[in-house]
Amino acid sequence: MRSNDRKALKVIDICRYDESFSDEVKKRFRSLWEEIVGHGDVMAGTISVALEKGHPVGVCFLMATSTYQSADLQHPGYLNMEYQAVSGEDEIEICALLIDTLIEDYRRICEEEPDKRIILRTFASPSSTEYMSFLASFGFRAQYFMYRMRKDLTEVVPEDGDGSFSFEIKNRKGVSERIDVKAVRIGSDGSADGLEGYFEANGSVFGVPDSENELIYRLREQNGIQFIAGVKGRVVAAVSTWENGPLSVSTENIFCIEEYRRLGVTEELLRGVCAFLAGKGYKEATLFVYGVNTYAVGLYTKLGYNIFGGTMHMLFEDGYVPELI
């Protein structure tokens, strides 16, 4: 356990999380508590709490992304930093203590895994220059920008059904092919039957497949559905959806394998998914896309998505030397 050095005001202690803090953390930091108890990517040895007179006023942990699992010295992996403090006059100080704690954990992990290049990551709104400056004071640097885009589902003709549908395309040889889309949900026993081939196809597009723990968490905890498009059982494209709130839904992890790109597969898949979501009463669909991916930005704009915000990837790495331009 360690604490801040403020003498005239409150003393904030930092210690490792255990079950004795569970009820209070659940009450004050519900979303992070849900990840602690239910998300397989949370690194148990990094969960800490900030305490004031023995009561939690902040919580933090690191999340191991799929890139971290497969990282080596040539292919960096990311650890995502999650933290939250109670609102009030001490919020910034508590956050600073939590960030310091996570940086210490990050450095410990780097020492334990010298054969991996590991980067610590968090996210910030580029409009919040004060917050970005706060992160920069710890050594974080702005690296990648992502647009947030939104589609008005009230303008979409709704469709009923269970989420499964089909459509036809012309392949590169000009021959018609049937694309079958299935909707995969978490079963009552916690299983997600129907994901066979999904992660292999996803990894072939992104280099490293998305985290299975992350996907299962979204499907289970946020009423998610995995839409998988296939040709004779082979996965060729997909869209993940999960609730942001009662009327808003994310449409993420969108991909199409190389062989079926620019044939209208992604367009037809998203159109069908959005029609299904409109039929379920959702009013908007959102997604994030890297700003440098101009083709994807143009495609989503064509499909009715509009930019309404964004987020900046803030990265921390010991020994980082900026490239000269």
Please check the confidence at residue 323 and state whether its pLDDT lies above 70: no
CA distance 90 to 84: 12
Of 3.90.1300.10, 3.40.50.2000, 3.40.630.30, 3.40.47.10, the CATH number of 150-310 is 3.40.630.30
Model confidence, pTM: 0.91
Tens of pLDDT, residue by residue over 148-201, are 999 999 999 999 999 999 999 999 999 999 999 999 998 777 778 889 999 999
Tens of pLDDT, residue by residue over 9-55, are 579 999 999 999 999 999 999 999 999 999 999 999 999 999 999 99
The predicted structure's pLDDT at residue 4: 57
Can you tell me the mean pLDDT for 72-96? 95
At the fourth CATH level, the homologous superfamily of domain 2-124 is Gcn5-related N-acetyltransferase (GNAT) (3.40.630.30)
CA-nearest of 37, 40, 45, 16 to 109 is 45
The predicted structure's pLDDT at residue 10: 76
The predicted structure's pLDDT at residue 193: 84
The predicted structure's pLDDT at residue 9: 54
Contact 304, 181 (CB under 8 A): no
Tens of pLDDT, residue by residue over 196-211, are 999 999 999 999 999 9
The predicted structure's pLDDT at residue 192: 80
Q: Do 2-124 and 150-310 have matching folds?
A: yes
Tens of pLDDT, residue by residue over 300-322, are 999 999 999 999 999 999 876 55
Question: In terms of C-beta density within 10 A (0-12 exposed, 13-18 middle, 19 or more buried), how is residue 174 classed?
Answer: exposed
Please check the confidence at residue 7 and state whether its pLDDT lies above 50: no
CA-nearest of 158, 178, 180 to 168 is 178
CA-nearest of 197, 191, 250, 239 to 216 is 191
Tens of pLDDT, residue by residue over 116-133, are 999 999 999 988 899 999
- Which two tokens mark 262? 């620019």
DSSP state of 324: P
Q: How do the domains of the chain map onto residue ranges?
A: 2-124, 150-310
